[in-house]
């Protein structure tokens, strides 16, 4: 995985990743674990992405670290979106864009490893009728490695 960062959080280790997985009862995709061990999140130098359907183009502002001493992090994202049942339980928020839409990765199910763009600004959180769904999720890539490999610079 070839990626450069403007800001990064340094590497982490498998023990910290395993602790996170156990505490949240999830299993992270292997390529995403490899990324965390090497880089542990940050702000990439090349960060533009487009959803596979071509409907959304945005920039990756931050890939959340596993470290608890920085906000947002994977733990705080899990608590905000998964524990509060705002997104489907198989998805994990791993990053955001400049307007705080969310980048998610699937941790289980038929789409395990897939990376999605969640148009949070489109979501309607009516308390009576709200159910977590893929309604405002758009597929970016079928794996985290593909997602990182497809990041590009904007055309001037």
Task: Give the pLDDT confidence of 21-38 residue by residue, as tens digits.
Answer: 999 999 999 999 999 999
Pair of tokens at residue 35? 């990324």
Considering the entire predicted model, what is its pTM? 0.93
pLDDT beyond 60 at 88 = yes
Burial 43-59 (b: 16+ CB within 10 A, else e): bbebbebbbbeeeeebb
CATH 1.25.40.10 fits 5-149, yes or no: no
Residue 83 has a pLDDT of: 87
pLDDT score recorded for residue 127: 59
> What pLDDT is stored for residue 10 in this prediction?
83
pLDDT at 79 over 80: yes
Per-state percent for the chain, helix, strand, coil, to nearest 5: 25, 25, 55
- In the structure, what pLDDT confidence band is assigned to residue 156 with cuts at 50, 70 and 90? low
């Amino acid at each position: 995985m070839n990626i450069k960062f403007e800001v990064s959080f340094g590497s982490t280790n498998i023990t910290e990743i395993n602790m996170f997985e156990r505490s949240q009862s999830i299993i992270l995709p292997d390529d995403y674990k490899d990324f965390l061990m090497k880089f542990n999140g940050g702000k990439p130098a090349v960060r533009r992405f487009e959803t596979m359907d071509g409907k959304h183009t945005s920039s990756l502002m931050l890939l959340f670290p596993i470290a608890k001493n920085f906000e947002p992090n994977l733990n705080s994202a899990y608590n905000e979106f998964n524990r509060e049942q705002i997104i489907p339980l198989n998805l994990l928020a791993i990053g955001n864009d400049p307007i705080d839409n969310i980048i998610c990765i699937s941790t289980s199910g038929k789409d395990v490893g897939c990376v999605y763009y969640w148009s949070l600004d489109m979501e309607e959180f009516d308390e009576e009728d709200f159910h977590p769904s893929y309604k405002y999720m758009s597929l970016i890539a079928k794996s985290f490695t593909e997602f990182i490999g497809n990041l590009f610079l904007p055309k001037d």
